[in-house]
Amino acid sequence: MSIPKEVIDWNILNEIISMDEDDPDFSRMLIMQYIDQAQTTFDKMQNELETTKDLSALNSLGHFLKGSSATLGLQRIAWICEKIQNLGKKQSNEVIPAIDGSNDKVYLEMISKALDQARVEFKLARKELSDYYKTEL
Amino acid sequence: MLGSKANLDTKFSALKTAKTVVTGTTLDSNSHPNSNEIKTDTDNELSMLNSTINSNNSGNTNSNINSNSNNNSNSSNSNSKPQSNEFVRKIYGILERGDYPDIVRWTENGDSFVVLDTGSFTSQILPNHFKHSNFASFVRQLNKYDFHKVKRTQEERKACQYGELSWEFNHPLFKRNQEANLDNIKRKAATQKKVLVDEKSLLLNKADGTQALENESAMNLILNNTVNSESFTQLKKKVEKLHKEIDSYKKENDNYKIELEKLNNKYYTVLESLLTFKTVNDNLIGNFNTLCQILTSQGIDLPQSIQYSSPQKDLKLLTTESSTQSLVNAQDSTSQSTPDNVRNVQAPTNVPIPDVIGGSADINSKNDDIGDVDSNELKKGFHVLLVEDDDVSIQLCSKFLRKYGCTVQVVTDGLAAISILEKFRFDLVLMDIVMPNLDGATATSIIRNFDNRTPIIAMTGSIEHQDLITYLQHGMNDILAKPFTRKDLYSILIRYLKDRVPISDQKNQLQQEQTFDNVRRSPEVHEDSQQQNIPVMMNDGPPLKKTRL
């Protein structure tokens, strides 16, 4: 499975936006909340990578952000989060440079790369959302 | 002197006829359960007693009671006629005659002997010459005569000319063609008895007068170290009994293991067929409802009780499964837009979502393909527990739920879910799987200990077949795959709450509900019948399942 083409699955997001009918600003508040949550999660991941280096914690964080990203239709971020989640479980389709599968370092490095990629995707999504709401999110 | 000897002999024979077992050290070493060995050892001890007597009688030929003792041995000890080391002589005889060169023979230089084939030795020689068939016991007896097994290292054993599995024994005095030496090969006495023998011979040399007394005390010593035959047999029986018991338990245990495995296999098979069945059943119900709707829309009045079909109807549909299945597929291809939803085959998802804002009056006009969907409308006021740790999901999901007229209570982990369900009742529980503190599946299995009625739906991203089975095993009713759309959520609500009356409204609706129940499943009406019926769609299933399984 390769990364989805579109940053945002508008089928999903539109459904949420449609809820604004009886509750103006509902979707925007939800997205604001997500942005907050994503940034916190990215920071937590960064912290794990630098200090405790706990793969299972990274797995949980990946799972967590994957859920909320997917809920809002932010499919590319969700995709990368799933990748982080799998790397936290020491699963990867990519060829592991070192044969030594028990070496956490390899996975930590791969997660670190994935995290950078996630931040980029996050910026893209944020921009697209800001454009939609015509306000800086 | 002669009298005292006779005294000792009488005591000995009394001892022997009473089959008294000399134990002392022996009993300890023979908590070993093999009764054969015990028996052999008993024999050994008896023969040792013999030798004790012999040494009293004849072993002191040089002492001043020489003649007496000789007389004694001739007159009273016909059974001690064979030499005290008859065992050793037997082996010597076998070796000298070369009776079994392939099984046991002298080594080349003749200062030790070797058992080449312990198997044949045990099965042929031991029964014929030693009246038992226990090689270990033979070795032990050899050791008692101070024979020793010649130890070999692994390499030596491999290189051994008598074969890797041969047993070589030697004794400094036991050599080929040296029969005279045999007299000096004596049984080692256990330390206690050794003292006894020594004392005795000493006494014999000393004073005749005290002999009787000393013999008496020696006898007492022996008696003190013995166990009478009664308790011995008792013990033996006990040991045998225990052995039998252990064996039977082992057998039982094995049987249980096999049965458990079988049951497990069956369980999984049943579970899988249940899953398959559930899908089929849901399809059928959906089709049936569609059929009813079409009939209604064409102006045919259907009694309300027929709406969700009696078991007979379901069965009828079941027989035409193939045709209805294709119908479902056709509908799916036209109406499904969420391919990642596990339940997208379900008929209820075919029903357009009623627009709550517009009110229920709008529904009919919005349904082009299905006429009257009155039966699919959800009553308002269902109390739903949302167990979820992600704020975004919480907000969205509760928003959806409220839109469908539900009231929502949120907790953020499995533990909180358990404690709130202990106190309050809900019409439905939506449960995330991966959560801090306690995961949803485990929480459900705990909740199921005290609440079997409330439908619990797993909300999860992992919808592998194995996961589905796990969730069902934990007592969850259904799966709502994440991320889900409004439609997906609605179809779940329909499936479990359609035609249900919210718990909060039940008091008002009691009468009506019971009438319903009487029509559908009269035997199950009792005090809390409404609560029993919370998942209406589920309750339509069982009669069918029973017939099927």
Within-domain flag for A20: yes
Within-domain flag for A16: yes
Q: Mind listing the pLDDT tens digit for each residue in B80-115?
A: 445 678 888 888 888 888 888 888 989 888 889 999
Local structure of residue B386 (DSSP, 8 states): E
Within-domain flag for B249: no
Within-domain flag for A74: yes
Q: Where are the alpha helices (DSSP H) in B77-169?
A: 86-97, 118-120, 135-144, 154-159
Within-domain flag for A3: no
Domain that holds residue A107: 10-132
- Nearest CA to B490 out of B352, B337, B362, B390 is that of B352
Domain that holds residue B481: 264-548
Q: Mind listing the pLDDT tens digit for each residue in B227-277?
A: 778 888 899 999 999 999 999 999 999 999 999 989 988 888 888 888 888
Residues B389 and B524 reside in one and the same domain: yes
Least confident of A28-37, B23-32, B243-252, B389-398: B23-32
Question: What residue of B is the nearest CA neighbor of A17?
Answer: B396
Instruction: Establish if A17 touches chain B: CB-CB under 8 angstroms.
Output: no
Confidence label for B193 from pLDDT (cuts 50, 70 and 90):
very low
Residue B79: give its domain's CATH number: 1.10.10.10
Query: How many Å lie between the alpha carbon of B472 and the closest alpha carbon of chain A?
Result: 22
- The answer to whether B425 and B449 are in contact (CB under 8 A) is no
Average pLDDT over all residues of chain B: 69
- The answer to whether B171 and B185 are in contact (CB under 8 A) is yes
Residue matched to tokens 């047999």: B233
Concatenated DSSP letters for B154-209? Answer: HHHHHH-TT-TT-EEEE-TT--TT-GGGGGG--PPPPHHHHHHHHHHHHHHHS-ST
Within-domain flag for B251: no
Within-domain flag for B221: yes
Q: Determine, for residues B482 and A60 on separate chains, whether the beta-carbon distance falls below 8 Å.
A: no
Local structure of residue A60 (DSSP, 8 states): H
The pLDDT value given to residue B512? 52
User: CB under 8 Å to A95, separation ≥6 — which residues?
Assistant: none
Best B391, B393, B395 member to test A by mutation, with max A CBs in 10 Å, is: B395
Instruction: Establish if A11 touches chain B: CB-CB under 8 angstroms.
Output: yes
Local structure of residue B226 (DSSP, 8 states): E
Residue B510: give its domain's CATH number: 3.40.50.2300
- The answer to whether B105 and B98 are in contact (CB under 8 A) is yes
Residue B397 has which token pair?
A: 């999901």
Best A11, A35, A41, A71 member to test B by mutation, with max B CBs in 10 Å, is: A71
Query: How many Å lie between the alpha carbon of B367 and the closest alpha carbon of chain A?
Result: 19
Residue B292 has which token pair?
A: 């009813």
Dihedral sign of CA atoms B269, B275, B279, B284 in order: positive
- For chain A positions 53-82, those within 8 Å of chain B (CB to CB) are 60, 63-64, 66-68, 70-73
Q: In whole angstroms, what is the distance from residue B538 CA to residue B540 CA? A: 5
Question: End-to-end distance of chain B based on CA atoms, in angstroms?
Answer: 94
Q: In whole angstroms, what is the distance from residue B293 CA to residue B287 CA? A: 10
The pLDDT value given to residue B376? 58
Instruction: Establish if A89 touches chain B: CB-CB under 8 angstroms.
Output: no
Q: Mind listing the pLDDT tens digit for each residue in B47-61?
A: 555 554 444 444 444
Q: How far is CA B548 from CA B314, B315, B491, B541, in A?
A: 11, 9, 26, 11
Angle of helix B391-403 relative to helix A26-50, nearest 10 degrees, comes to: 160
E runs forming strands in B313-404? 383-387
Q: In whole angstroms, what is the distance from residue A116 CA to residue B89 CA? A: 92
Residues B97 and B184 reside in one and the same domain: yes
Confidence label for A41 from pLDDT (cuts 50, 70 and 90):
very high
Q: Report how many domains make up chain A.
A: 1
Q: In whole angstroms, what is the distance from residue B504 CA to residue B452 CA? A: 19
**Residues of A whose CB is below 8 A from B437:** none
Residues B101 and B233 reside in one and the same domain: yes
Residue A40 has which token pair?
A: 């916190």
Residue matched to tokens 């013995």: B226
The pLDDT value given to residue A92? 75
Which of A22, A70, A73 has the CB atom closest to B482's CB atom?
A70
Within-domain flag for B259: no
Question: What residue of A is the nearest CA neighbor of B400?
Answer: A19
The pLDDT value given to residue A32? 93
Dihedral angle computed from the Cα positions of residues B132, B138, B140 and B142, in that order, rounded to the nearest 10 degrees: 140
User: CB under 8 Å to B130, separation ≥6 — which residues?
Assistant: B87, B90, B138
Which of B393, B399, B400 has the CB atom closest to A68's CB atom?
B393
Q: In whole angstroms, what is the distance from residue B74 CA to residue B81 CA? A: 8
Q: Mind listing the pLDDT tens digit for each residue in B200-237?
A: 444 444 455 556 666 777 777 776 777 778 888 899 99
Last-in-domain residue among B179, B208, B242: B242
- Nearest CA to B499 out of B281, B309, B283, B255 is that of B309
Within-domain flag for A48: yes
Residue A126: give its domain's CATH number: 1.20.120.160
The pLDDT value given to residue B78? 42
Q: In whole angstroms, what is the distance from residue A26 CA to residue A20 CA? A: 5
Residues B212 and B143 reside in one and the same domain: yes
Within-domain flag for A73: yes
Residues B271 and B228 reside in one and the same domain: no
Model-wide pTM > 0.90: no
Best A16, A61, A77 member to test B by mutation, with max B CBs in 10 Å, is: A16
Asked whether the ipTM of the predicted complex exceeds the cut of 0.90, the reply is: no
Q: What is the mean pLDDT of residues B284-301?
A: 86
Residues B298 and B389 reside in one and the same domain: yes
- The answer to whether B287 and B499 are in contact (CB under 8 A) is no
- The answer to whether B9 and B76 are in contact (CB under 8 A) is yes
Residues B510 and B402 reside in one and the same domain: yes
3-class secondary-structure state, position B387: strand
Query: How many Å lie between the alpha carbon of A65 and the closest alpha carbon of chain B?
Result: 9
Whether omega before B127 lies within 30 degrees of 0, making that bond cis, reads no
Instruction: Establish if A23 touches chain B: CB-CB under 8 angstroms.
Output: yes
Confidence label for B46 from pLDDT (cuts 50, 70 and 90):
low
Q: Report how many domains make up chain B.
A: 2
Residues B459 and B502 reside in one and the same domain: yes
* B499 has pLDDT over 50: yes
The pLDDT value given to residue B45? 52
Which of A11, A26, A33 has the CB atom closest to B399's CB atom?
A26
Residues B361 and B429 reside in one and the same domain: yes
- The answer to whether B465 and B344 are in contact (CB under 8 A) is no
Within-domain flag for B434: yes
- The answer to whether B478 and B457 are in contact (CB under 8 A) is yes
Query: How many Å lie between the alpha carbon of A42 and the closest alpha carbon of chain B?
Result: 15
Residues B207 and B333 reside in one and the same domain: no
Question: End-to-end distance of chain A based on CA atoms, in angstroms?
Answer: 30
* Selected residue with higher pLDDT from A44 and B324: A44
Q: Mind listing the pLDDT tens digit for each residue in A4-26?
A: 888 899 988 998 998 888 888 89
Which of B391, B392, B485 has the CB atom closest to A15's CB atom?
B485
Query: How many Å lie between the alpha carbon of B157 and the closest alpha carbon of chain A?
Result: 43
Q: Determine, for residues A12 and B389 on separate chains, whether the beta-carbon distance falls below 8 Å.
A: no
* B514 has pLDDT over 80: no
Residues B228 and B375 reside in one and the same domain: no
Residues B284 and B161 reside in one and the same domain: no
Residue matched to tokens 């590319």: A76
Q: Determine, for residues A67 and B390 on separate chains, whether the beta-carbon distance falls below 8 Å.
A: yes
